[in-house]
Structure 1
């Protein structure tokens, strides 16, 4: 799927306009987007990054990384997904940056999601649903997630925000908006890796031929 990721990432460059501050996500597909963005870095005013990993990649290319509090609303955010359904609702967080990704998506006018064909699904949930949790709430949140029918497993990972991640297995998510709301209401949850209330606006699938929907 390496070629599919590259194709989708390079297609997303078409949405970058002169003078933009571009929101940049995290992950293997986004890494190709960062490489492509480096080719036109003099065209943009800078970027806002969703992770320390992406920040390092951007700066290695000589691309400015700015603070979202200083930039205000963004015109464009480009990121990948772990799963994408026909309504452009997403599961994200496989790389552990879901909270910052969700903040930037919310702050952006247009969210372009770049995927390879393996990420397209009819119903979300085959990929374990990541949830960022404050460490002291791990047991409480685990109990509540089990009541929802999932099997939460603690990931051996600390987020850039200093929190933990529970990956919830065994879900079939027929109502992504409702489940996002329900999980976010559990005390101790920072955010859930469902991007449904604010889904992608445009999905670029790096297939042959390329699909944009």
Structure 2
């Protein structure tokens, strides 16, 4: 990661923290850019006395938020989530996204779908004409996961189990495995999403379509891109 990317992550995260207002229930995403947001949000809570409740998308985010003294609740303990701030691994010009590089895609999607508004914070390297350069995460149940890998292999999706540094299969907070699909280019994301959703053993996939309302790209003056697609 370059110094420029790191600076843009911090700029995007800190700008997003300025959008939070007193009394909000805020979805807290997962990842390196969200870390900057959480730290900046904690500073505002402490300095301004904001009453904020966070709903987290991973155990890692929960630990980070608790370490900064942010009050937390589970998604099932709140009646609504006002705004979720999360990162993204890749975003196209139609604001389709790939998420799940932190293996939190299932919980991220649950929180996103229960949020009145979703904002993603990214550096400019994540913004592309077409998504697919970042491997697409697919969360699968362990039972039969090798058979799923073979099915994706037969479909020429270049699948690999995500593994830890010691070679073990990565396990999500829900106890599932991640299969990464190395596709290079996803020309028809909705068709691919439908295929994955119809595949038995797939718990969730990392295509986030028609989900985000705004994307913030870090910079000295962060760029805000709004989703102008008609709702249906």
Shorter-normalised TM-score: what interval? over 0.9
2:93 aligned residue: 86
Report the alpha carbon displacement of residue 84 of structure 1 after superposing the two structures with TM: 0.4
1:191 aligned residue: 204
Q: Give the whole-Å Cα distance in 2 for the aligned partners of 1:168 and 1:51.
A: 22
Report the alpha carbon displacement of residue 147 of structure 1 after superposing the two structures with TM: 4.1
Report the alpha carbon displacement of residue 175 of structure 1 after superposing the two structures with TM: 1.7
Q: Give the whole-Å Cα distance in 1 for the aligned partners of 2:157 and 2:80.
A: 35
CA RMSD of aligned residues (A): 1.3
The TM-score with structure 2 as length reference comes to: 0.88
Q: Is the 8 A contact 2:133 2:183 kept in 1?
A: yes
Q: Is the 8 A contact 2:54 2:72 kept in 1?
A: yes
Q: Give the whole-Å Cα distance in 2 for the aligned partners of 1:209 and 1:63.
A: 27
Q: 2:153 aligns with which of 141, 146, 150?
A: 146
1:14 aligned residue: 18
2:228 aligned residue: none
Q: 1:163 aligns with which of 176, 185, 191?
A: 176
Report the alpha carbon displacement of residue 178 of structure 1 after superposing the two structures with TM: 2.2
2:217 aligned residue: 205
Q: Give the whole-Å Cα distance in 2 for the aligned partners of 1:199 and 1:147.
A: 30
Unpaired stretches in structure 2, ≥5 consecutive residues: 164-169, 226-232
The TM-score with structure 1 as length reference comes to: 0.95
1:5 aligned residue: 9
What do the CA deviations read for 1:23-45 (whole angstroms, capped 9, x no partner)?
A: 00000000000100101223133
What do the CA deviations read for 1:18-66 (whole angstroms, capped 9, x no partner)?
A: 1001000000000000100101223133100001111001000111110
Report the alpha carbon displacement of residue 174 of structure 1 after superposing the two structures with TM: 1.3
Q: 1:48 aligns with which of 49, 52, 55?
A: 55
Report the alpha carbon displacement of residue 170 of structure 1 after superposing the two structures with TM: 2.5
Q: 1:27 aligns with which of 31, 34, 47?
A: 31
Q: Is the 8 A contact 2:136 2:183 kept in 1?
A: no
Q: Is the 8 A contact 1:144 1:186 kept in 2?
A: no
Unpaired stretches in structure 1, ≥5 consecutive residues: none
Q: Is the 8 A contact 2:119 2:216 kept in 1?
A: yes
My pick for the range that moved more, 12-21 or 55-64, is 12-21
State the number of aligned residues.
212
